[in-house]
Amino acid sequence: MGSTDSTDLTARARIRDAAVVCFGEHGFKVTVRTIAEKAGVSPGLVIHHFGSKAGLRKACDDHVFAIIHEAKMESVTSPDPMRSFRHLSHLEEFAPLMAYIIRSLQEGGPLGLALHERMVRDVEEYLAAGEGAGNIRPSRDPRKRARFLANMISGSLLMALAERPGEERVDFSRFLQEWTEEYMLPALELYCEGLFTDRKMLDAYLMYVSDPPEESR
Amino acid sequence: MGSTDSTDLTARARIRDAAVVCFGEHGFKVTVRTIAEKAGVSPGLVIHHFGSKAGLRKACDDHVFAIIHEAKMESVTSPDPMRSFRHLSHLEEFAPLMAYIIRSLQEGGPLGLALHERMVRDVEEYLAAGEGAGNIRPSRDPRKRARFLANMISGSLLMALAERPGEERVDFSRFLQEWTEEYMLPALELYCEGLFTDRKMLDAYLMYVSDPPEESR
DNA sequence: CATCCGACTGAACGCCTGTTTAATCTATTG
DNA sequence: CAATAGATTAAACAGGCGTTCAGTCGGATG
C-alpha cells in the first residue's frame, strides 16, 4: 500500500484511499467535495460508488480494519522489547492509517472502539502471560488493569492530537515519532520503578472503598 | 452555581449558561437554535448579545475559566489522599463545567489546552515537592514525567468519553463517578507497585536511545 | 409627554453541505 | 455495427446552518 499515488488504481479505490487520508488529516467533518478533489473526480461520483458519505466512511472503516487485521498490530505489544522499538521506528508507513484510527477514536466511531477493544484484550492476554512468567506483578483486578493501561495508551494519543493547533493539517509521521520520544521514557520508568516510594495512597484507597465514610452524602 | 435555573438571571447570562450545558452535552456542533431554545429565547438574540457563535463560545470559555480559577482545582492534585477522595465524591456539582472542559479538550480548543497546561505545571510542582519530601521517586526527566502523567489523566477522560455511544446525551455526573471507580484502583496499584517485576525493558530502552541501531533507516 | 435606546422576536437571506438528476462518454457484448 | 450497461460529470436541488433585518416592545431620560 501507499506505493501507487497515481491513476493505476480503480477510481473507487482511489476515492477510498483519498477519503482515508482526508478523514485522518482533517477529521470527519471534511467535505465530500474536498475528498473528490483529492481523488481527482467529481463529488457525484463519490456518491455513485458509495451511496452516501456515511457509506464512504463505512468502506474506509472496513478497508482500514482489513489492513490492520492483516498486518496484525500485536507486534506493538510484543513481549520482546527490541522488536517493539524496531517496529515503532518503521511505523511511519502506517501513519495515514493510524491517523484515521485516532480520528475515529476521537469521535467515538465504531472502528476506533473496535480496535481499542481488541487492544484491551491483547493487553490483558499479554499481562496474564507475563504474570505467569513472573515478569508482571499481579493485580487485584487484572481486567480493570488491562483496560486502564490500554486506555492510557489510546488516551495519550488523543491528547497528543489535541495538543496540535486546531485546523492545521497534521503530519502523522512526525506526530507518532514525537509521541514515542515524548512518552517512552516516563512510561518505562513508571512501569519498572513505580511512582510513589510507599504504599500509603493505595492502602488509604483500599480502606476507603471497603469502608466509605458517611460524609459522602 | 446551578441554584437558579429560572428567569431571575439576565438573559445574557441565561444564554451563556445554557450554551455551556449544551456544548458540554452535545459537543460544539450543537445548533445556535438548540441553545436558544434551551435558554428560552430566539436565535437572533443569541447573536445580538454575543455577535456570533464563536463569540458565544469565547464567552463560555472565559466564564468557565473564571469559575475554575476561582474554585482552584488544586485540591484534586492535593498531596492529602483523603481530601482528594472526599473532593471527588462532591465533584458532581462541577459536572457541567467538566463536560465543557473535556469537550474543549477533545476538540483541541484553547480552554481545554490552557487548563491542561496548568495541570501539567501543577503535577510537576506536586511531584517535585513529593520528591523533596521523599514520597515520590526521582525521574531522569521530571518535566517529561509530569507531562506524561497529566496527559494520562486527561487522555483517560477523553477515552472514557469516546467509549460512550455517539450521539446520545451524556450524563457527566455518572460519567465522572464511573471514571473514578474504573481507574482509581489500577492507577494506585501502578503508582505504588509498578508493573514489571524487573528493569529489563527500561534498561533496554536506555541502551537503545544512547546507541540507536543502524537498521532504523 | 416625547424621545431614544437597548432587548427581543419572527421571518427571511445566503451560504455550504450532501445528494439527485439528466446527459455524455466509454467499453463491452451479441 | 448496434445496443446496452456502467463510469463520469456539470448542474441543479433541498435542507440545515449561522446570521441579518425590519420591526415591536418597554423602560429610562430630558
**Residues B9-31: tens digit of each pLDDT:** 799 999 999 999 999 999 999 99
Cross-chain Cβ contact A190/B186 below 8 Å: no
Q: What was the pLDDT predicted at B2?
A: 39
Q: Average pLDDT in the A27-41 region?
A: 97
C-alpha distance from A11 to closest chain B C-alpha (Å): 31
Is the CB of residue A104 less than 8 Å from the CB of residue A112? yes
Per CB-CB distance under 8 Å, the chain B contacts of A113 are 162-163
Q: What was the pLDDT predicted at A183?
A: 92
Q: Average pLDDT in the B179-197 region?
A: 94
Q: What was the pLDDT predicted at A176?
A: 80
Nearest to A149 by CA among A178, A176, A119: A119
Q: Average pLDDT in the A194-209 region?
A: 92
Q: Average pLDDT in the B51-74 region?
A: 89
Cross-chain Cβ contact A137/B195 below 8 Å: yes
Q: What is the pTM of this model?
A: 0.86
**Whole-angstrom distance, CA of residue B118 vs CA of residue B115:** 5
The gap between B36 CA and C12 C1' (Å) is 18
Confidence band for A6, pLDDT divided at 50, 70 and 90: very low
**Residues A135-170: tens digit of each pLDDT:** 999 999 999 999 999 999 999 999 988 888 766 677
Q: With residue B120 as reference, give the H or E element that holds it.
A: helix B110-133
Residues 6 or more apart whose CB falls under 8 angstroms from that of A135 comprise: A79, B196, B197, B198, B200
Residues 6 or more apart whose CB falls under 8 angstroms from that of B204 comprise: A81, A82, A85
**Whole-angstrom distance, CA of residue A217 vs CA of residue A206:** 20
Cross-chain Cβ contact B160/A149 below 8 Å: no
**Whole-angstrom distance, CA of residue A47 vs CA of residue B58:** 37
Q: What was the pLDDT predicted at B94?
A: 80
The gap between A47 CA and D9 C1' (Å) is 13
Cross-chain Cβ contact B198/A135 below 8 Å: yes
Residues 6 or more apart whose CB falls under 8 angstroms from that of A31 comprise: none
Residue nearest to nucleotide D11 (CA to C1'): A44
Interchain contact B158–A (C-beta under 8 A): yes
Q: What was the pLDDT predicted at B215?
A: 55
Q: Average pLDDT in the B154-173 region?
A: 81
Q: Grid coordinates representing B54?
A: 464563536
CB distance under 7 Å to strand C: residues:
A 31-33, 43-44, 46-48, 52-54; B 11-12, 40-45, 48-49
Average model confidence (pLDDT) for chain A?
A: 86
Which of these ranges, A34-38, B77-81, B96-100, B173-177, has the smallest mean pLDDT?
B77-81
What percentage of residues in chain A have a pLDDT greater than 70?
A: 81
Task: Show the CA angle centred on residue B166, arms to residues B163 and B167, nearest 5°.
Answer: 145
Grid coordinates 476506533 are at which residue? A112
